Structure 1
């Protein structure tokens, strides 16, 4: 297992390939055998997927590509090529998680931090909604062809559906516990690399 730590971003995967001339960093999972894919659940597969953490956001998928602006030596964009999954702990609730997943994720950086994330193709979302008094309104469950997220210092700031979504805002108590999670959800906070010493554990 390889890992890295850059300012507020860290990540890990089976292999990390770096091309400094092109400014590319690829986080790659070892290839799963056909038999493994048949018996493993989506949660088990996601536990082995490459993953990065940026602030409060956890981003994973079959492969993650980070692109740098070589001339200016700064992060420019990221691509999750398949099975993209974003998890963010809901800071106002207890053990609540905002989740977005789709086939592909495209991200843009600003000043070294993720500024926007586009979840593309078969996008699904579970998001906890609050009023101005930080009282929960309900849980938004929706699907759309694409979902754009604008990020702020503490995580997701705005959500825009590129096409008309299909979904509903549910009262929190209306949903069973398992209905509050998208298929394939895994919380990998305990793996997060927070300091240089973690790179050697």
Structure 2
């Protein structure tokens, strides 16, 4: 009987001790989550609405688990586990440093809310704004108002920016501008995502690319690209930029429209897809796809694949007359920024107007030649056609002046479509449409 009672006593005693140990462990765990004061030159404690409040002044240093806080002055709300910090605020978590004029640190949520000259430094990345929050658990920074992010190759400005440390991901919203310091390209838009680990970026909402370059003669040459959606792939060997849907390109005397464009920066190669049309000065070319090869950012060659068609005004005094060339494929070679030669393969057809110069120097029209063959080669001089060579299955017809005068449009080749309204840029680097 006595033994049974003693065993029952030990049983309840053990349960009581375990409950006490659990309560103590829980209390110690909660205490470890409280913000700890490491140093302050002076401390004033008081009660406010039955809550414990401490005012810390001078060289204040606090610690919360793996997070350190420094400031000139702080008010610590002990019961709320909250700090209001003023003057030279610094918050540090491993390699990240957050600085501001003032802010609030919420111990239970582990979030720092900062205001005034807010700056976050994380390795090679720095982030600045007027306002900034940092969630130390999610490792997420949200910055607002005059935001600026700087890393080794890029500067991003926006109205708001989300910086995910773990995923190395950034999202910028509102008046976004991304400047690449390596190639002097700036992209503007309303929304931007950057995945640093994948070396991939995408920009939406009225994106526009601007690249300001200077030619060898000191002339500023600016490239502008607009579309509805832009992406960048920054691989070590292949750097590719693309624009999708309603794409417009303007650079110097060259302008273009197409459905999609792909620009390989390191290869100096531009590929235009989906109904591309390219204008160079007054000349127009079109096809199923167009590839532009550059050397030192100048046009070297243009390749047109599928339904290739080139149109060039014959003479400004005769606005209805156009020299025309079409075929399955076409290659245009440039020299000193002017067309040097054109080579057309497969089902090549040429239409070119003839002009004669009289003794008085007056230029008179003298009909048109319609020539076809397996291939056509045309040589130019000073941008004007100098000679033409047709190879294989040659057929030619000459139409005298009296037959074509006033009826030029009826002699145009099948598929002719000269677009007079083409894109240009104004002084504000905006795309305008002009004839």
TM-score (norm 1): 0.79
Of 12, 15, 18, which residue of structure 1 is paired with 2:263?
18
Deviation at 1:172, TM superposition (A): 2.9
> Tell me, which stretches of 5 or more residues in structure 1 are unaligned?
30-48
Deviation at 1:200, TM superposition (A): 5.9
Tell me the secondary structure at the aligned position of residue 131 of structure 1: strand
Deviation at 1:79, TM superposition (A): 0.6
177-186 or 79-88, larger mean C-alpha shift: 177-186
Tell me the secondary structure at the aligned position of residue 431 of structure 2: helix
Within the alignment, does 1:79 sit opposite 2:303 as a pair? yes
Within the alignment, does 1:129 sit opposite 2:354 as a pair? yes
- State how 1:1-201 maps to structure 2 within 5 Å: 1-29=246-274, 49-69=275-295, 72-91=296-315, 92-133=317-358, 134-163=363-392, 165-174=394-403, 179-190=410-421, 192-196=422-426, 199=431
Contact 1:117 1:148 in 2 (8 A): yes
Larger radius of gyration: 2
Alignment partners' CA distance in 2, 1:155 and 1:195: 26
Alignment partners' CA distance in 2, 1:199 and 1:157: 35
Alignment partners' CA distance in 1, 2:416 and 2:352: 13
After TM superposition, where is structure 1 displaced by more than 4 Å over at least 4 residues in a row?
175-178
Q: Count how many residue pairs are aligned between Structure 1 and Structure 2.
A: 179
Deviation at 1:60, TM superposition (A): 0.5
Partner of 1:37: none
Q: Deviations over 1:90-116 (max 9, x none)?
A: 214241111110000111122233321
> Tell me, which stretches of 5 or more residues in structure 2 are unaligned?
1-245
User: Taking structure 1 as reference, are residues 94 and 68 closer, same or farther at Cα in structure 2, changes over 3 Å only?
Assistant: closer
Alignment partners' CA distance in 2, 1:151 and 1:194: 26
Alignment partners' CA distance in 2, 1:193 and 1:199: 6
Tell me the secondary structure at the aligned position of residue 182 of structure 1: coil
57-66 or 140-149, larger mean C-alpha shift: 140-149
Q: Which has the higher strand share?
A: 2
Alignment partners' CA distance in 2, 1:160 and 1:151: 12
Deviation at 1:156, TM superposition (A): 3.0
Alignment partners' CA distance in 1, 2:416 and 2:349: 12
149-158 or 2-11, larger mean C-alpha shift: 149-158
Alignment partners' CA distance in 1, 2:257 and 2:323: 22
Q: Which has the higher helix share?
A: 1
Ranked by relative contact order (alpha carbons within 8 Å, sequence separation 6 or more), the top structure is 1
143-152 or 173-182, larger mean C-alpha shift: 173-182
Tell me the secondary structure at the aligned position of residue 173 of structure 1: helix
Partner of 2:195: none
Q: Deviations over 1:152-178 (max 9, x none)?
A: 445433322234631121113335655
Partner of 2:78: none
Tell me the secondary structure at the aligned position of residue 423 of structure 2: coil
User: Taking structure 1 as reference, are residues 9 and 177 closer, same or farther at Cα in structure 2, changes over 3 Å only?
Assistant: closer
Provide the aligned C-alpha RMSD in A.
Answer: 2.1
Partner of 1:35: none
User: Taking structure 1 as reference, are residues 165 and 132 closer, same or farther at Cα in structure 2, changes over 3 Å only?
Assistant: farther
User: Taking structure 1 as reference, are residues 173 and 61 closer, same or farther at Cα in structure 2, changes over 3 Å only?
Assistant: same
Alignment partners' CA distance in 2, 1:57 and 1:135: 22
Contact 2:320 2:408 in 1 (8 A): no
